[in-house]
């Protein structure tokens, strides 16, 4: 689908930037575990004194890992102190940064960074940014006039390190999910729809997602050309604390909950990721007994292989999707990755898997002592 279908001219997901405590250590984890290549570096050696960044890539994936090199960058330190490691900003490539930004701000978007040209001898990259949930940003980027790696001031890595990683076959971003506080979901869906000319694609109401203990509400907004898909979750009252409430408490606010990464062969990808050290949620054998009994089960993959790797399957119309979820990757139970493979035009998000998935998450919440409804000492700021 071309960008002509989208007046904002959205082409694709571009990069996601994470703020972390130690960029070098986390970059090694991404390289080793996700099988990404350390493709570029920015830091004191390239004229940036306060921060260090590593660009990690594979196929369409671009992750930037940024950490402090000095105690003087208060924006970075403030984020880390409050949220821990997390997604600071995600970027979409657009035809025209200036007009996408103008559309957003004239429809109510909160400005973070006006359009600017980042220039060096190789040309320029244009960027602008608007505010998303709490301390998160959405960046518009265009690099049509740049012919070097990533952005000005980045250089090729100073050292090439062989981390002996299995090939994971990861392709690109499928969707990015935000968690927000109770009663904020519709506000943010409206924000996307009006500022970015998105549309609400799915609206999961009370009773659609949950177990007998905990529940959530979710809306999925997407760009008119369907390239960018962004589910937004908010907690819903249940007997026990939902995973979204746990996130909001532990992240001290709203932010990006997970990024789903596409693959063309999920069995191979998951086997490689497990070998590289990635931890996934556990799925009970009974899930596969129920799946086997479904009359509409018509999938290319061997069910025993899916069971062996604990991969979930959701059938929708003529298509189906395969997915599984990693455990939170940092110290707090906040951000995690999803791995997904779509077949036959599947466009869903695994609604049929929510029950098994949430029961698995609740087991981990219980281990962390975060499933109960006891009052917390410090409430997140509103």
Taking the complex as a whole, the smallest distance from the CB of residue 67 to Fe ion amounts, in Å, to 26
List contacts with Fe ion (CB under 5 A): 260, 338
Nearer to Fe ion, 157 or 319 (CB): 319
Residue among 45, 38, 91 nearest 256 (CA): 91
Give dist(CA 362, CA 167) in Å, integer: 31
Q: Give dist(CA 266, CA 170) in Å, integer.
A: 9
Nearer to Fe ion, 55 or 256 (CB): 256
Residue whose token pair is 């962004």: 230
Q: Which is nearer to Fe ion, 85 or 338 (CB)?
A: 338
* Complex with Fe ion: residue 98 or 208, whichever CB lies closer: 208
Q: At what angle do helices 354-368 and 243-251 cross, to 10 degrees?
A: 50
Distance, first Cα to last Cα, the chain: 39
User: What are the tokens at 382?
Assistant: 């509103």
- Nearer to Fe ion by Cβ, of 54 and 335: the residue is 335
Least Cβ distance, residue 378 to Fe ion (angstroms): 29
**Closest distance to Fe ion from the beta carbon of 341 (Å):** 13
Residue 151 or 258 having the CB closest to Fe ion: 258
Q: Which residues of 40-60 are buried (b: 16+ CB within 10 A; e: fewer)?
A: bbbbeeeebebbbbbbbbbee
Q: Which is nearer to Fe ion, 310 or 338 (CB)?
A: 338
Residue pair 60/13 in contact (Cβ under 8 Å)? The answer is yes
- Could you give the 3-state DSSP secondary structure of residue 261? strand
Closest CB 325 distance from Fe ion, rounded Å: 8
**CA-CA distances (angstroms) from residue 149 to 26, 40, 120, 127?**
21, 7, 11, 15
Q: Which residues contact 270 (CB under 8 A, 6 or more apart)?
A: 280, 309, 311, 324, 339
Q: What is the DSSP letter of 146?
A: B
Cα gap 280→196, rounded to integer Å: 33
Report in angstroms how near the CB of residue 323 gets to Fe ion at its nearest: 7
Q: CB 321 → Fe ion: shortest distance, Å?
A: 10
- Closest contact distance (angstroms) between CB of 195 and Fe ion is 22
Q: For residues 178 and 244, what is the distance between their CA atoms, to the nearest angstrom?
A: 10
Smallest separation, CB 348 to Fe ion (Å): 10
* Residue (287 or 349) nearer to Fe ion, CB: 349
CA distance 173 to 54: 19
Q: Which is nearer to Fe ion, 100 or 261 (CB)?
A: 261
In this structure, are residues 215 and 196 in contact, taking their beta carbons and an 8 Å threshold?
no
Q: CB 167 → Fe ion: shortest distance, Å?
A: 23
By beta-carbon proximity to Fe ion, the closer residue of 130 and 260 is: 260
CB of 338 to Fe ion, least distance (A): 5
Rounded to whole angstroms, how far apart are CA atoms 82 and 248? 11
């Amino acid at each position: 689908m071309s960008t002509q279908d989208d007046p904002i001219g959205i082409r694709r997901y571009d990069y996601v930037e994470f703020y972390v405590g130690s960029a070098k250590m986390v970059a090694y984890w991404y390289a080793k575990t996700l099988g990404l290549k350390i493709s570029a570096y920015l830091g004191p050696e390239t004229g940036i004194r306060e921060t260090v960044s590593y660009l990690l890539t594979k196929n369409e994936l671009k992750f930037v890992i940024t950490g402090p090199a000095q105690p003087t960058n208060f924006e970075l330190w403030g984020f880390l102190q409050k949220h821990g490691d997390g997604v600071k900003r995600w970027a979409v490539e657009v035809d025209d940064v200036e007009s996408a930004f103008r559309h957003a701000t004239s429809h109510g978007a909160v400005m973070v960074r006006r359009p600017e040209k980042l220039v060096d001898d190789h040309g320029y990259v244009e960027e602008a940014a608007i505010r998303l949930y709490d301390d998160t940003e959405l960046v518009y980027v265009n690099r049509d006039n740049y012919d070097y790696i990533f952005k000005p001031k980045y250089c090729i890595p100073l050292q090439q390190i062989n981390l002996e990683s299995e090939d994971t076959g990861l392709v690109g971003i499928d969707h990015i999910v935000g968690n927000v506080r109770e009663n904020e979901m519709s506000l943010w869906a409206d924000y996307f729809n009006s500022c970015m000319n998105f549309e609400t694609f799915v609206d999961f109401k009370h009773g659609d997602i949950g177990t007998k203990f905990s529940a959530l509400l979710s809306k999925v907004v997407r760009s008119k050309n369907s390239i960018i898909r962004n589910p937004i979750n908010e907690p819903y009252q249940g007997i026990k604390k939902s995973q979204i409430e746990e996130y909001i408490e532990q992240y001290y606010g709203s932010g990006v909950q997970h990024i789903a990464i596409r693959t063309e062969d999920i069995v191979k990808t998951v086997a490689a990721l497990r070998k590289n050290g990635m931890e996934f949620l556990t799925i009970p054998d009974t899930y596969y007994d129920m799946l086997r009994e479904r009359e509409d089960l018509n999938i290319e993959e061997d069910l025993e292989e899916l069971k062996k790797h604990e991969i979930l399957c959701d059938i929708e119309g003529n298509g189906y999707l395969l997915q599984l979820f990693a455990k939170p990757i940092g110290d707090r139970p906040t951000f995690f990755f999803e791995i997904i493979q779509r077949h036959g035009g599947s466009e869903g998000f695994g609604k049929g898997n929510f029950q098994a998935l949430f029961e698995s998450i609740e087991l981990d919440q219980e281990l962390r002592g975060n499933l109960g409804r006891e009052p917390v000492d410090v409430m997140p700021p509103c």
